[in-house]
Structure 1
Amino acid sequence: MKAISYSRYGGPEVLAFGEVRDPKVGPDAVLVKVRAASVNPVDWKVREGYLDAILEPVFPVVPGWDVSGVVVRPGVAVSEFDVGDEVIGYVREDFLSRGTFAEYVAAPLRTLARKPRNLSFEEAAGLPLVGLTAYQVLLKVLQVKRGETVLVHAAAGGVGSIAVQLGTHLGARVIGTASESNHDYVRGLGGEPVTYGEGLGERVRGLAPEGVDAVFDTVGGDAMKASANLLAPEGRLVSIADGDVVNYGGRYYFVRPDAEDLQRLTDLAEQGVVSVHVSETFPLERAADAHLRSQEGRTRGKIVVTVDWETEGVQP
């Protein structure tokens, strides 16, 4: 099959488009014909070797953890999905090798849910990682309650935009940091935008003089450090971007695949609670350009890589 792969850590130049081995489908997995796969900041960080201490690479590595597509072959122990079912997945394993930037991916059952019927394949591919991150942090770690005030950093980004929508759905007041150009977008999601950068603390205090009940940090660094001083008594701080958060009384969190959580996100998408904004799409062979765009760090919503089966004439 055709795929994007790399045989050593490095910049976008290590990504190559070409033939790789077809994936084997284990008993508890399904073979998915990929229609779209989204790009996340973790993808280029993994490609550059930043997660080498926790994820063993088996080169050549096919990058990508998010996918939307169609089941073409269930594993021999699988009864949950049939051929032709449309699915989404956060297809992360405990090693690096079999990613989603490919024509096919063998996806373990624990990583999959049914695709939201009201989302395109491109939109659906942008939901799993960011959606699971926002869902697990807000509901399971921060345990946000109705009436609380939550500060979400990078509220116009992939994780942040879903977190704003979920927080609002939970009945919380959501303040979101964003550039001026994205303030209307954040308002449209249900949040109250504030400009990040110098003076952030004073601007947040102007909206929440008594502090915020919870902070969801997605950027780390100065924003995370400033957040610790914005917490109300008994306030909670979680970061997905900066392990130093523990030095400020907070918790570091790394998202995990969870089929039940992912199905709940599908349900919420079909109810109109959460939506996915796709800012730009790239064909599979231009995945390096998609990585470059992600590394710029200014994306509104999601960047998506697509596999065009019709024009390529590929058969399952």
Structure 2
Amino acid sequence: MVVGESTPPPIDAVPLRHPWRWVGAAVIIVVVGLFIYGAATNPAYGWSTYGDYLFNERIMLGVFNTLQLTVYAMVLGIVLGVVLSVMRLSPNPVFGAVAWVFLWIFRGTPVYVQLVFWGLIPTIYQHIQLGVPFGPSFFHLDLQDLSIPFLLAVLGLGLNEGAYMAEIIRAGITSVPEGQSEASTALGMSWTMTMRRTVLPQAMRVIIPPTGNEVISMLKTTSLVTAVPYSYDLYSIASREIAARTFEPVPMLLVAATWYLVITSVLMVGQYYLEKYFSRGISRRLTTKQLEALAKAQTGTEAGHV
């Protein structure tokens, strides 16, 4: 500061008024309140039936089966996604072509159509035999004698999910600069150790958010397994089994929606903490040295324009 220079008076800043924000908020509150009141007093919602079946034994079985479908299908999808992403990144053109065709088929057709196809597998392939061509058979399996709709549902959901997870994982791996891998190799790390200690921890910051969205999406996609057909998931039990018996579809749909919301909320909390864990050491705030460097650069720019 120059000697004798007076300190400028503080600025008396007056915040801008936004009255229309309060008007908009009031209108939204009134509309939401009217909707809640109308829903609470409308007998078509069947709130008594809703309360009776919210923790019903059959509903809880559907919740459990839906969670099983979600977990098993996501595990299969993640494992398959890792394999396909490595094949896509491989210099081997055969591996790359096979992975591309897989992604093309499973991303290019609706998941409902795929589940219908998997449900028809016992009809298309009634008998499975392994042995010498035109010779003796060592293994024989009759698919029509088996009750495997749950397994077929997991396969249908998992293979479809693997196509999407492959692109998510590939994007996460390619987001890590190549210099990181080169530095790890220079330190004597093997490829496996480089992936485990250097690449994947940094790639997880890119992989976790879309993977969390895929888990939530998979939870809701399980409602389509009636195409297999598998009729013991949450949606099938609530909307088909119980609603068909009580002739009250609306409260049963509300029961199913409530449980989907509860499970989704738990998954969102888990996703938040996973993202926070893998974002350790990353800050969007500038450090003191960075701020000083910016201030010096700004001062130099202003001096150059004088």
TM normalised by structure 1 equals 0.20
Q: Which has the larger radius of gyration?
A: 2
User: Which structure carries more strand by proportion?
Assistant: 1
TM normalised by structure 2 equals 0.21
User: Which structure carries more helix by proportion?
Assistant: 2
